[in-house]
Amino acid sequence: MPVQKTLERVISKAGLGSRTQARSWIHAGRVKVNGKVIENPDHWIDFDRDRVLFDDKPLQEKARVYILLHKPAGYITTFKDPAGRPTVYDLITNAGTFVSPVGRLDLDTSGLLLLTNDTQLAERLTNPDHKISKTYQVAAADPLSDAALDQLGRGVELNDGPTRPAVVRRIGESQIEISISEGRNRQVRRMIEAVGSNVVELVRTRIGTLTIGDLAVGKWRELRPAEVQALRGRN
C-alpha cells in the first residue's frame, strides 16, 4: 500500500518549517512535484513514486533533533500567535532546524516540553494507546482532602468522559504530584476542578522516562542518545 501525505505535511515533516510556512511556500510556487510547480498544499504525495523539489533542490529530511525545553508560564506552544504573545519558538531560535512540540502546554503551565522533528517518536508519546505517563506538580487553590486524592486516583468524570486512573502523591496540604496517561485539553486543571478546587500553579516534570531535572526555566538542551532510546522503549 503506498504511503501518502499532503504536500504541506511532507514539507513540514521534513523539518523545513511549520505547516503554515509550508503552505505559504507552496502558494509561492517554490515546490515542484515530478518537475511541475504545485501550488495546492493539499496535493497528495506518494512517497514511492513522486519526486519533490523545494527551491529546485531534492527534498531531504533533516537530521533528527530532540530538544528538552523548560517552558516558562506565559509562553504558548504554537509557532506564531496572532495576538503577539511570546511563543516557545522565541526560546529556541538557535536550534538549527524546525521542530514541533510533542503535545502542548497551555499558556499558564510551565515545565517539560519536548520538541522534535521525529514524527514517529512524537506519535508514540502522544497516542493514548501507548499509555505514556506525563507527570505534573500541582498547587491547588484549596487544601485537597485524602478523599479528593483518592477520587483523582480512581478517575473523575469530565464533560468529555471519565478519565483513566491516575497516580497521585501528596506533596503538601494543597500540593500534589499527579501522573496521567492521556493528553486531553487542560486535563489536569479540569480534574482538579472536578474535585472542588482550582489550579494555582501547574508544572510538568516528566514525560515517560524523561525528566526536567535541574534545567533552568527558559533554557533548553538536546537530548542524549540514551534518553531518546529510552523514550522509544529501547534499552
- The answer to whether residues 214 and 164 belong to one domain is no
Domain count for the chain, please give it.
3
Evaluate if residue 17 carries a pLDDT over 80.
no
Q: Are residues 108 and 219 in the same domain?
A: yes
> For the stretch 22-52, what's the b/e string if a residue is b when 16 or more beta carbons lie within 10 angstroms of its beta carbon?
bbebbeeebbbbeeeebeebeeebeeeebeb
Residue among 42, 55, 90, 106 flagged as catalytic:
106
Average per-residue pLDDT for the chain: 91
- Please check whether residues 156 and 201 belong to one and the same domain: yes
How many Cα atoms sit within 13 Å of 100 on the Cβ side?
21
My answer on whether 226 and 113 are in the same domain is yes
Same domain, 44 and 98: no
pLDDT (tens digit, 9 = 90+) per residue, 45-58?
A: 887 788 999 888 88
Q: Are residues 105 and 215 in the same domain?
A: yes
Question: For position 164, what pLDDT does the model report?
Answer: 95
Q: pTM of the predicted model, to two decimals?
A: 0.80
- Residues 143, 201 within the same domain: yes
On whether the CB atoms of residues 26 and 39 are closer than 8 A, the answer is: yes
Sequence-ordered list of residues with C-beta below 8 angstroms from that of 58, at least 6 positions apart, any chain: 51, 52
165 and 114 within one domain: no
Q: What is the DSSP letter of 206?
A: E
Instruction: Say whether pLDDT at 18 is over 80.
Output: no
Q: What integer pLDDT is reported at residue 178 of this predicted model? A: 98
Which structural domain, as residue segments, surrounds residue 38?
Answer: 4-58
The predicted model gives 124-135 an average pLDDT of 92
Domain of 157, CATH number, reads: 3.30.70.1560
The reported pLDDT for the residue numbered 114 is: 97
pLDDT digits (tens, 9 = 90+) for 66-101: 999 999 999 999 888 889 999 999 999 988 788 889
1: confidence class by pLDDT, cuts 50, 70, 90: very low
CATH number assigned to the domain comprising residue 90: 3.30.70.580
Give residue for cell 497516542. Answer: 127
Query: pLDDT by residue (tens digit) across 193-205?
Result: 999 999 999 999 9
Same domain flag for 181 and 151: yes
Structure confidence at residue 208 (pLDDT): 95
> Residue 24: which CATH number?
3.10.290.10
Q: Residues 103, 169: one domain?
A: no
142 and 194 housed in the same domain: yes
Last residue of a domain, one of 40, 58, 76: 58
Is 108 considered catalytic here?
no
